[in-house]
Chain A
Amino acid sequence: MIQLKKIYKYYNTGSKKAYVLSDVSLDIAEGEFVSIMGPSGSGKSTLLHILGLLEEANEGEYLFLGENVSKLTEKKRTELHRNQIGFVFQAYHLIDELTVYENIETPLLYKGLNSSERKSRVAELLDKFNIVGRKDLFPSQLSGGQQQLVGIARAIAGNPKVIFADEPTGNLHSDQATEIMELFKKLNEQEKVTIVQVTHSEHNATYGNRVIRLKDGLIQR
């Protein structure tokens, strides 16, 4: 489903190129639960952003669902964000001015679903995540774990094929973290959603079925 071939990413710092990623090649099959690990500054987040089409690599080829997405128009990219890709962030990144319900509804709005379709989809997710009672609260009124639940509900609202999660439990204490990881596992196993997460925690990595280790921009074999 995801194929990276010889990806390089660098920044020009003065006269030298500072490589964040070099010669990264990897395959991720549909239904996998992959954890990307590595020390700070190893290029994990950059790799995730490239996978999630938020950044472009300087060199190399990226095939997403068999399609070359290395150079995409903004419209095409948005299309993929709407239908195939979901994001979960360490800092949750909910829209502060919208309620739980409205946050989950946002991707559906952009997807162009009509109001009754949206209603039933949001209701389904609220029910599934057990947050029906909180649907009219604003993010600031929720705990971190609850916010991240909403973040995940929002990420899967549009039925994406893959979820990219950037240290999803990084800001949470361990009970909440476990709950979130269990949820990812359930989504992966029951709904066959491909999951790619960046994490620092070996424990969290055990929820997945493969670990990719990065150091100084290189994949460790």
Chain B
Amino acid sequence: MIKHYFKTTFRYLRAYKLFSAINLVGLAVAFSVVYYAVLFVHFELSYDQFNTNADRILRLSTNVETPAGITHETSAGAVAGAVQSTFPEVENTTRIFLDYYIVQKDQDAYGEETLAYADPSVFSVFSFPLISGNAATVFNNPYAMVLSETAAKKYFGTTDCINKTLTLDGKITATVTGVMKDIPQNSHFRTDIFLSMSSLIKEGTNWMTNWSRFGFSTYVLLKENTSAAGFTAKLAGFAKEHPLKNNLQYSLVAEPLNSLYLHGQARGNKAGATASGNYTNIYVFSIVAIFVLFIACFNFINLTTALSLKRAKEIGVRKVTGATRQQLTYQFLTDALTVSLIAFAIAVILCTALQPFVNNITGKVITTGMAGNIKFAGLFLLLAIAMGLLSGLYPALVLARFKPVSNLKGKFVNNVKGLILRKGLVITQFTISIVLIIATIVVYSQLNFMQNENLGFKKEHNLVIDFHYDERISEHGETVMAELTGIPGIHSSSISSSIPGRSNTKYPTTIEGENKEPQELQADAYFVDYNFLKQYGLELVAGRGFSKDFAGDMRDAMVINESAVKRLGFNNAADAIGKPFSQRGGNGLVIGVIKDFHFHSLHEAIMPLTMQVSPGFFTFLTLDVASENMASTVSALQKKWSAIAPGLPLVYNFADDTFNAQYKADNQFGKLFICFAVLSVFISCLGLLGLTSFSTVQRTKEIGIRKVLGASVASIIALLTKEFIGMVLIALVVATPIAAISMKYWLNDFAYHIPIKAQYFLMAGMLAMLVALLTLSVQSVKAAIANPVKTLKTE
């Protein structure tokens, strides 16, 4: 009997090729989407869970209360030690300081790497097992280095590389003392190179005494069976005992490692902030996955029920030859289950093929193959079976209940309830598709806006060299720049501590405000040379820029932006000129105000910014390079560079690329949305195709009669497409508010964003309509041009 069920199933798949293909493709695509969505969600939720002590680890961070509100900082170097000695419930502490270096094995090969200074306890607080070297002694010396397996293989071709050396920033020699397993992909911070903390905290620096000098990620491992809440409660008192240098109030925040990735506050940091996830993405992925599964499921039900019209006769015959309702139900469940399992097999192939693509668009390695996720694959097999059974159940029950005699008479009347259900499902699918199309349009318009918006500074033709604070350049800036601008094609140059799009340090700054009182600001600070304003085309709105003509402009003069002016309470930029300031122990007067420009991404509102001419922090050289003969200019630059700073590789970027790099995550989000929208539209069209082909088949006779009576081909096509167009219009009406509300929410994440325009909805509606019409035309044109004699004869 079972053999007979399967035989019948396969005969049907063959007999109704189009419907089988629609079902299989729809389900397979849905399975693949759901598989990767679940994998992604699981990956996002699994961050840091590989640490055996994950539930006992807290990250300590600082919230500084400035007059402008709370600024979120990491923690100072001294916090770890002080916490360890104050609180008995603390079992261990460790500190991480992220930085980046140019790493070289020899002169020719180099790369910029994010690396981390760390205490030796990093290997006991976190689960980073060493495969060679002794955790207790690896960090005994400055510039002792632990490499990941990947880094070891990359630089030395083997993990057996203890005592071998690498060159950092072209001048520091660091020695390998240990090799660790790669830090898992789902760690909120990752590095391939750990450097001993003593490489950073040297004699004579104030890292350990200055409680305002942030930059460390401090992690606390609590003893077992101690309450994290109890520990956190005591931190307020602890903070009072350790005042900040500028006497600003602050609180220490303990964030549990378990929720750090998704819920942790972004903390300002020089190089490479730690990875942070987005809870919204998880919701988006889950919802999309459920929707796609829902759509495919209902297409399946829809098509199977519709196909039942064609199978009515067969069911009648089977009934009169003695089939019970149960046996018919089994037959239809077998059909459904078989389709579902074949779809599963296709999905497995599809998922394997799509793996590099998925890792690419999510921007991380969420999977290394089905074999590595065998548990999920198994779960998916179960899902496929469950979906097959569920999707098969409804048609099975409906079909098995048919009255044989009406079937055999060919009198099967389509019940109105079933029709409304099927139409409702098509409307739902198109609603989802249109929402996703609108979302995609909005996301791309915003991305486009961000990439083309006037940022308030000149980003074209600016080639930026990151020289990693090398003294040969920072201390001889004038000479170096004179030499570089001598190269044909390079017109002007500037040297600075930061450039727009790169992180910069914030300093507590005091400037006299409108009320004649000194105002405290936590200001973003740029340290620049005399040419910086001109180099980046920054516009002065009051006062003057820096000039060599005024001796005091070195260190004693400050240029601020309009946001700072506003923060100080002045209505007029000119009122800020001449006001005294103090920053980093230095004093002087404000000499100029520049127009606000976006020195960070458009996600963030423009904050108060100060600029001073002050060497010592310089690490970026900006060169104005002509676009003609770029290649020869760069090669001349390369040559000159190796003469100026032998050993230091030339690491350069263009200012516009640097700025746009901030939108990497947004671009990925956009790509994802395009994928989702395309998939959703595709699956919806499959559903529409299936439904129309049935309604056309059902109406064959009607069409034939109309043609005999003189209807034109065009009027027949109109007749067949009219109702479906109505359905797409309803979908557009339903989708508009949903999309408007959710996209407004999404756009709120950007301090500067586009308004939601009516044309987005019109565009999406037209696109959906166009796709629907194309899909419909496949069937309706065929039906409309058919010879009526033939169609009437078959009736």
Task: Show the binding face of A for B, using Cβ within 8 Å.
Answer: 49, 52, 54-55, 74-75, 78, 81-83, 87, 89, 93-98, 102, 106-107, 109-111, 154, 158
Contact = CB atoms under 8 A, between A and B. Distances in A.
B11 A97 contact: yes
A201 to B, nearest CB: 21
A98 B317 CA distance: 12
Given A93-B408, A95-B314, A95-B318, A78 B7 contact: no
B323 interface: yes
B316 interface: yes
Given A49-B405, A89-B408, A109-B4, A97 B12 contact: yes
A109 B1 contact: yes
B775 interface: no
Contacts of B321: 81-82, 87, 106-107, 110, 154, 158
B324 A93 contact: no
A93 B408 CA distance: 8
Given A81-B319, A93-B317, A97-B14, 12 more contacts: A54-B404, A54-B405, A55-B405, A74-B325, A75-B324, A81-B320, A82-B321, A89-B408, A94-B317, A95-B314, A95-B318, A158-B322
Nearest to B321: A107
A110 B324 contact: yes
B658 interface: no
Contacts of B319: 78, 81
A97 B15 contact: yes
Is chain B's interface secondary structure helix, strand, loop, or mixed overall?
helix
Interface in B348-407: 404-405
Contacts of A109: 1, 4
A106 B4 CA distance: 9
Contacts of A106: 318, 321
B309 to A, nearest CB: 15
A49 B15 CA distance: 30
A109 B602 CA distance: 71
What's the interface size class on B, roughly? 20 to 34
Given A49-B405, A55-B405, A98 B322 contact: no
Given A89-B408, A97-B8, A109-B1, A54 B320 contact: yes
Contact of A81 (B8, B322, B325, B408): B322
Nearest to A102: B7
A216 to B, nearest CB: 20
Contacts of B707: none
B51 interface: no
Nearest to A45: B409
Contacts of B327: 110
A74 B322 CA distance: 11
Nearest to B9: A97
Interface of B: 1, 4, 7-8, 11-12, 14-15, 313-314, 316-325, 327, 404-405, 408
Contacts of B14: 97
B2 to A, nearest CB: 11
A80 to B, nearest CB: 9
A82 B322 contact: yes
Contacts of B404: 54
A6 to B, nearest CB: 22
Given A54-B405, A96-B15, A97-B15, A110 B8 contact: no
Contacts of B15: 96-97
B495 to A, nearest CB: 80
Determine which residue in A74, A110, A111 has the highest number of CB atoms from chain B within 10 A of its CB, and name it.
A110
Contacts of A89: 408
Nearest to A107: B321
B794 to A, nearest CB: 12
Contacts of B320: 52, 54, 81, 87
B122 to A, nearest CB: 68
Contacts of A87: 320-321
Contacts of A102: 7
Nearest to A87: B320
Nearest to B325: A74
Nearest to A94: B317
A54 B408 CA distance: 10
- Report, nearest first, the 3 A-B pairs whose CB atoms are least far apart: A82-B322, A97-B11, A107-B321
14 contacts: A54-B320, A81-B319, A81-B320, A81-B321, A82-B322, A93-B316, A93-B317, A95-B314, A97-B15, A102-B7, A107-B322, A109-B1, A110-B318, A110-B323
Contacts of A75: 324
Contacts of B313: 93
A102 B11 CA distance: 12
A147 to B, nearest CB: 13
B7 A110 contact: no
Contacts of B317: 93-95
Q: Which of A49, A109, A111 has the most CB of B within 10 A?
A: A109
A106 B327 CA distance: 12
A111 B406 CA distance: 24
A96 B312 CA distance: 12
Contacts of A94: 317
B20 to A, nearest CB: 13
A154 B323 CA distance: 14
Nearest to B315: A95
A98 B11 CA distance: 8
Nearest to A46: B405
A195 B317 CA distance: 19
B323 A78 contact: yes
A89 B405 CA distance: 11
A12 B318 CA distance: 29
A82 B404 CA distance: 14
Contacts of A97: 8, 11-12, 14-15, 314
Task: Give the residue among B317, B318, B405 with the most A Cβ atoms within 10 A.
Answer: B317
Contacts of A154: 321
Nearest to B320: A87
A129 B313 CA distance: 25
Contacts of A83: 322
A158 B321 CA distance: 9
Contacts of A52: 320
A54 B403 CA distance: 8
Nearest to B14: A97
Contacts of B318: 95, 106, 110
Given A49-B405, A97-B12, A98-B11, A110 B322 contact: yes
B8 A98 contact: yes
Contacts of B8: 97-98
B795 to A, nearest CB: 12
A217 B650 CA distance: 103
Contacts of B325: 74
Contacts of B405: 49, 54-55
A184 B316 CA distance: 23
A167 to B, nearest CB: 13
A78 B4 contact: no
A106 B320 CA distance: 11
A90 to B, nearest CB: 10
A78 B324 contact: yes
Contacts of B323: 78, 110
A49 B323 CA distance: 17
B322 A111 contact: yes
A20 B166 CA distance: 101
A193 B7 CA distance: 32
A93 B314 CA distance: 8
B322 A78 contact: yes
Contacts of A95: 314, 317-318
A60 B314 CA distance: 31
A21 to B, nearest CB: 15
A97 B314 CA distance: 9
A206 to B, nearest CB: 27
Contacts of B316: 93
A49 B319 CA distance: 13
Contacts of B314: 95-97
Nearest to A155: B321
A152 B467 CA distance: 94
Nearest to B317: A93
